[in-house]
Structure formats: structure tokens, C-alpha cells
Amino acid sequence: MKLIVLLMLAAILFSLGSGLYYLSKDGQGSERVLKALKIRVALSVLLVVFLISAYFLGWISPETMSR
């Protein structure tokens, strides 16, 4: 479970970094910047949905998150 969350966070950070790189290289209005930011938002939404689903399915609980 923790590995999935960490991999998703790493993918989000990578997408954020690539968006910053394309912004500095291509300038404003770049299609690659827009694509990288769309991917970051989609991954963030997917992570939130995954965490909420895992909570309701009983895979995680507040007691296990504090350890």
C-alpha cells in the first residue's frame, strides 16, 4: 500500500518537474507544458480517489496511518 502511494507521489513530482523544464525551455503557451500539467492533475485526482477507496474498503484506517 505504501509503495503504491510513494510511486504515485514520485510520478506526480516527476510530472511537475517536467512541466517546469518545458516551461523554461519552450516558454509560455507550450503544448508540452499543458500536457505535463494535465498528467499531474490526473495523477493527483487518481491518488485521492485511490486513498478514499482504500479507506472505505478497509485497506487503511486512521490507526494504521499513524505507525
Mean pLDDT score, 40-55: 96
Band of the pLDDT at 67, cuts 50, 70, 90? low
Residue 62: the pLDDT is 80
Domain that holds residue 26: 2-65
> Higher pLDDT residue, 64 or 6?
6
Q: What is the pTM of this model?
A: 0.81
Q: pLDDT tens digits, residue range 10-42?
A: 999 999 999 999 989 887 778 998 999 999 999
- Distance, in Å, from the CA atom of 30 to the CA atom of 19, rounded to the nearest integer, reads 10
Domain count, the chain: 1
* Rg, the chain, Cα only: 15
